Amino acid sequence: MVLAQPIRNLLTYTGVEWEDKVYEASPPDGPGRQAWENDKTDGLGLDFPNLPYYIDGDVKLSQSLSIIRHLGRKHGLYGQTEEEQCRQDMAEQQQGDFQMAMIRAVYYKFTPESKAQYLEEALPTHLKIFTMFIGNRNWLLGDRLTYVDFLWYEVLDWQLYLDPECFKDFPVLPYYIDGDVKLSQSLAILRYLGRKHGLYGQTEEEQCRQDMIEQQHGDLNWARAYLVYFNYNKEKYLQETLPPHLELFTKFIGNSKWLVGDRLTYVDFLWYESLDWQLYLGPECFNDFPVVRDFMDRFESLPNIKEYLKSDKFQKWPLFGPMAQWGYKEEDKKLRFPDG
């Protein structure tokens, strides 16, 4: 899974059609494991049958770095000059060192003490190296995206499962770049995209409504975060905490189609995601709030969104990282998706 994800991200970025063949590793004697053993025995035409593998006509590769290098060359995501290729090789190898440091921390002896040691000693060292290497560049090699950026994104993303605040002293991470526009902070990015794509309040009145409902969304998010990270009491949350938020939402949207009025804006995207999380806790939690249910149905029927939510590209689980008391383990999603 983790070795294949940069490859999936790169293929998605290029826009090519691809099939993701996944073998379920659990249980050890289950059909997924047996299917892989059968394919491995057959060989699939691979010189080194292993996971992940990549097949594109006569091109049949295993080993994750071989695959992503090939895709980098094929799709113009590869260093062009000798200088770029040297930087590329160094960045790739340094990412491997970083990856191994985390593997040592989580596979061999993962305790609260070893986690703290990793976050306080090993991780900052690697983040400092990354920060110095990328400097003022947009990407690791310069102004062009290459396959090593996909490698680094994945290993950096892993760190947020250990500590969501681990990048606070390293402002290079995370970021959004659109030409000369360089942003960090998720709301700043979302507001920018709203303005860019006409999904933003146009009048003073609309912008005031937009600001209010954005902040109200933050309150609901904090309530949810407290539940799943600090004090998991689902019954109390569903009976006492959630209903007042849904009542406020119902009153705010009223008879309007969307939160700011008749036009879709970025705050509708914020609220849809937060409301959708609630259905994992209690699939019936909107029964007494038909306005909320209508909003969800309306959003899910939007062009492109409707197709995306039904596609394999939409990841419905996990909702949170492994540190959460709820929202990560497979059994937590059974209430909403009994069949998986």
Of 74, 97, 114, the residue that ends a domain is 74
Does residue 180 lie in a domain region? no
Tell me if 250 is assigned to some domain: yes
pLDDT given for residue 100 in this prediction: 84
Q: To 10 degrees, the CA torsion angle through 319, 325, 331, 332?
A: -50
DSSP H helical ranges for the chain = 5-14, 31-42, 64-74, 82-107, 112-117, 123-134, 147-162, 186-196, 204-229, 234-236, 242-253, 266-281, 290-300, 305-310
Looking at the fold, whether 243 and 157 belong to one and the same domain comes out as no
Host domain of residue 117: 82-174
Measured CA to CA, the distance from residue 129 to residue 301 in angstroms comes to 45
Collapsing DSSP to helix, strand or coil, 183 comes out as strand
Q: Check if the beta carbon of residue 193 is closer than 8 Å to that of residue 199.
A: yes
| Rounded Cα distance, 140 and 134, in Å | 5
In angstroms, rounded to a whole number, what is the distance separating the alpha carbons of residues 179 and 309? Answer: 29
* Residue 256 belongs to some domain of the structure: yes
- Mean pLDDT of each 10-residue bin along the chain, 340 residues long: 83 90 80 84 78 86 82 89 79 86 80 88 91 86 90 91 85 62 58 79 73 76 76 85 89 90 88 86 89 92 81 68 66 62
Tell whether 39 is covered by a domain: yes
Q: Is residue 193 part of a domain?
A: no
Q: Are residues 214 and 299 in the same domain?
A: yes
In this structure, the answer to whether residues 59 and 134 fall within a common structural domain is: no
Contact 296, 244 (CB under 8 A): no
| CB-side neighbour CA atoms (13 Å) of 305 | 12
Predicted local distance difference test score (pLDDT) of residue 126? 92
Sequence-separated (6 or more) residues with CB below 8 Å from residue 194:
200, 265, 266
Same domain for 322 and 236, yes or no, is yes
CATH code at position 14? 1.20.1050.130
CATH of the domain at 280: 1.20.1050.10
Q: Which of 7, 126, 140, 131 is nearest to 83 (CA)?
A: 140
Quick check: is 192 in a domain?
no
254, 207: one domain? yes
Domain boundary among 26, 47, 74: 74
pTM: 0.52
Q: What is the pLDDT of residue 184?
A: 43
Whether 162 and 237 map to the same domain: the answer is: no
Within a domain: 198: no
Instruction: Mark whether 302 and 261 lie in a shared domain.
Output: yes
d(CA 39, CA 231): 45
296 and 319 fall within a common domain? yes
Would you state the pLDDT for residue 12? 92
Same domain, 238 and 319: yes
Total domains present in the chain:
3
Same domain, 49 and 104: no
In this structure, the answer to whether residues 87 and 50 fall within a common structural domain is no
Task: Pull the structure tokens for residue 32.
Answer: 């997924």
| Distances 58 to 15, 201, 231 between C-alpha atoms, Å | 21, 52, 54
Judge residue 255's burial from the number of C-beta atoms within 10 Å of its C-beta, 0-12 exposed, 13-18 middle, 19 or more buried. exposed
Let me know whether 158 and 278 are in one domain.
no
CB 147 within 8 A of CB 72: yes
